Amino acid sequence: MTAGAATTPRRLVELTAEGTIAMVRLNRPERLNALSDDMLRDLETVLDMIDARPGFRAIVVTGYGRAFCAGADLRQLLDRLDTAQEEILGFVRRAGQLFSRLERAPLPVVAAVNGPAVAGGFELVLAADVVVAAEGALLGDGHLRYGMLPGGGGAVRLERKIPANIARRLLFTGDLEPAERFQDWGLVAEVVPAGRLLDSAMALAHRLTAGSALGLAELKRVANAARDLPSAEALRLEFDAFAGYLGSADLRAGLTAFQQRRNQRSEGR
């Protein structure tokens, strides 16, 4: 490198295309991928890039190093506690908005939990549609262990993902539990050896995208919205989605594939 040459800042969240799968990697391993302002900025940029590329069919989120994500950078929060509380609120609000954006994404989201996922990192996991974890990886809310409260969806989403009495124990105690326990409770779909984690997550992502892209996006939209609706309204929403899908090329392609005894593969129309 010549003297005075500019260096390119390291991306704290990386995006690579693995065929039709958007691979998102948290890239701050020296801090256990703890969330910072710059990291949230890079995550937002990555989500913008995914939205701008119509060829993606699914998203896999994982972390570099030995942790998935240790939550917010507590040193950064402590430095601001007495002088910049509005900045803390802005940070938590932005994190929550990004997690909700990931949850609402029309693509299926797979969290590949390679190591500890705590507090904000656990909230990121809760925003995923399906979770695959390495053997022994520890997960949990953990906020109250340091006198904090969840602000990125942990207290809301956890009781929707696992039994409420278990969720409350985890929220109130801040306990971390291994992935195997979360598999028993229904949050984690697969627990695999660490060396097979990404292969397993990618295989699952491809399975999730084997059919209609449009149908999958509609199914995810209805399922997300129906959680907050009375049963009668939720059923109307489901019916309306079916009615809107009835004229789609994807449905015609799927029925034709059935008639011809082959698997459907559509682009989402």
So what's the pLDDT on residue 262? 59
Given 208, 225, 244, the domain boundary residue is: 208
Percent of the chain clearing pLDDT 90 (strictly above): 66
So what's the pLDDT on residue 80? 80
Summarize the confidence of residues 212-238 as an average pLDDT. 88
Residue 6: pLDDT band (50, 70, 90) is low
Residue 155: pLDDT band (50, 70, 90) is very high
Any domain includes 174: yes
Same domain, 126 and 195: yes
Same domain, 40 and 167: yes
Same domain, 27 and 63: yes
Same domain, 146 and 254: no
Any domain includes 40: yes
Any domain includes 73: yes
Same domain, 158 and 235: no
Any domain includes 269: no
Sheet with 190-192, edge to edge strand ranges: 13-18, 21-26, 58-63, 109-113, 130-134, 190-192
Q: Out of 4-13, 80-89, 114-123, give the one with best mean pLDDT.
A: 114-123
Any domain includes 78: yes
Residue 263: pLDDT band (50, 70, 90) is low
Residue 268 pLDDT > 70: no
Same domain, 202 and 223: no
Comparison of pLDDT for 22 and 263, the residue scoring more: 22
Same domain, 64 and 142: yes
Summarize the confidence of residues 92-102 as an average pLDDT. 96
By residue range, what is the domain housing residue 245? 213-259
So what's the pLDDT on residue 269? 44
Residue 13 pLDDT > 90: yes
Same domain, 175 and 220: no
Task: Please tell me the least confidently modeled range out of 22-31, 45-54, 225-234.
Answer: 225-234
Any domain includes 226: yes
So what's the pLDDT on residue 79? 79
The strand ranges marked E within the chain are 13-18, 21-26, 58-63, 109-113, 117-118, 130-134, 138-140, 177-178, 190-192
Residue 129 pLDDT > 90: yes
In terms of Cα–Cα distance, which of 57, 105, 103, 59 is closest to 209?
57
Pairwise CA distance, residues 99 & 122, whole Å: 11
Q: Is the pTM of this model over 0.85?
A: yes
Same domain, 70 and 133: yes
Percent of the chain clearing pLDDT 70 (strictly above): 94
In terms of Cα–Cα distance, which of 140, 134, 139 is closest to 172?
140
Summarize the confidence of residues 158-185 as an average pLDDT. 97
Structural domains of the chain, count: 2
Any domain includes 264: no
Residue 47 pLDDT > 70: yes
Pairwise CA distance, residues 156 & 141, whole Å: 11
Residue 237: pLDDT band (50, 70, 90) is confident
Any domain includes 5: no
Rounded to a whole number of angstroms, the CA Rg of the chain reads 20
Instruction: Assess contact for 133 and 110: CB atoms under 8 A.
Output: no
Comparison of pLDDT for 105 and 255, the residue scoring more: 105
Residue 127 pLDDT > 90: yes
Same domain, 121 and 149: yes
Instruction: Assess contact for 153 and 98: CB atoms under 8 A.
Output: no
Diameter over CA atoms, the chain: 68
- What is the CATH number for 36? 3.90.226.10
Same domain, 204 and 225: no
Same domain, 136 and 108: yes
